[in-house]
Amino acid sequence: MYILEKIIYLKIFKVIKFKSFFYNYFEYSVIISPLLKSMNNQKDQNFKVGKLRHDKIAKIIENYISDLEIKDSRVIQGSKIGEDAAVIDMGDKYLVSKTDPITFATDSIGYYVVNVNVNDVICMGAKPKWFQSTILLPEKDTNDELIESIFKNIHDTCREYGISVIGGHTEVTSGLNRPIVVGSLMGEVEKDKLVLTSGARAGDAIILTKGIFIEGTSIIGREKEDFLFKMGYDSAFIDKCKNYLFDPGISVYKEADLANSKFDIHSMHDPTEGGLYCGIAEICIASKHGATIDQQKITILPEPLELSNIFKLNPMNTISSGSLIITIENNNCLELLEYLRKNKIVCEKIGTITNHENLLVKDKNGKIKPLIYSEKDEIIKIF
The pLDDT of residue 36 is: 43
pLDDT higher at 52 or 376: 376
**Of 48, 50, 100, 47, whose CA–CA distance to 377 is shortest?**
50
| Structure-model confidence comparison of residues 16 and 334, the more confident one | 334
| pLDDT score of 99 | 95
What is the DSSP code string of 256-275? HHHHHHHS---EEE---TTH
Q: Over pLDDT 70: what percentage of the chain? A: 87
pLDDT score of 45? 55
For helices 235-242 and 302-311, the axis angle rounded to 10 degrees is: 100
**pLDDT digit string (tens) for 131-174?**
999 999 999 999 999 999 999 999 999 999 999 999 999 999 99
Contact present, 142 and 110 (Cβ < 8 Å) = no
Q: What is the CATH number of domain 82-193?
A: 3.30.1330.10
How big is the chain, counted in residues?
A: 383
- Mean pLDDT (whole number) for 63-90: 85
Q: Which residues contact 351 (CB under 8 A, 6 or more apart)?
A: 205, 206, 280, 291, 292, 293, 294, 297
Q: CATH 3.30.1330.10 in the chain, residues?
A: 82-193
pLDDT score of 39: 41
Q: Place 31 in a pLDDT band, splitting at 50, 70 and 90.
A: very low
Nearest to 322 by CA among 272, 283, 284: 272
Residue 98 pLDDT > 50, yes or no? yes
Domain 197-382 has CATH 3.90.650.10: yes
Given a cut of 50, is residue 130 above it in pLDDT? yes
**DSSP notation for 215-229:** HHHHHHHHHSHHHHH
Arithmetic mean of pLDDT, 249-273: 97
Give the pLDDT confidence of 218-246 residue by residue, as tens digits: 999 999 999 999 999 999 999 999 999 99
Sign of the C-alpha dihedral computed for residues 130, 134, 140 and 144 taken in this order: positive
Which pLDDT band, with edges at 50, 70 and 90, does 82 fall under?
Answer: confident
**Rounded Cα distance, 260 and 193, in Å:** 7
Question: What is the mean predicted confidence (pLDDT) over 289-312?
Answer: 97
Q: What stretch(es) of the chain map to CATH 3.90.650.10?
A: 197-382
Q: Where are the beta strands (DSSP E) in 103-163?
A: 127-138
Mean per-residue pLDDT, 195-222: 97
| Residue ranges of E strands in 25-112 | 75-77, 86-89, 93-102
pLDDT at 345: 98
- Distance between CA 271 and CA 274 in Å, rounded? 7
Average pLDDT of span 9-31: 44
Residue 373 φ/ψ, nearest 5 degrees: -125, 165
Using the 8-state DSSP alphabet, how is residue 321 labeled?
Answer: B
pLDDT (0 to 100) of residue 56? 87
Strand partners, 31: none
Q: Is the pTM of this model over 0.75?
A: yes
CA dist., res. 219 & res. 106, Å (int): 9
Q: Give the CA distances from residue 258 to residues 190, 253, 254, 338, in Å, rounded to whole numbers and listed in that order.
A: 15, 8, 6, 12
pLDDT class for 18, splitting at 50, 70, 90? very low
Predicted pLDDT of residue 30: 42
Which of 84 and 225 is assigned the larger pLDDT?
225
Angle of helix 253-262 versus helix 109-122 axis, rounded to 10 = 10
Compute the distance between CA of residue 141 and CA of residue 91 in angstroms, rounded to an integer.
Answer: 47
| Cβ 235 vs Cβ 221: under 8 Å | no
Mean pLDDT of the chain: 89
**What pLDDT is recorded for position 301?**
96
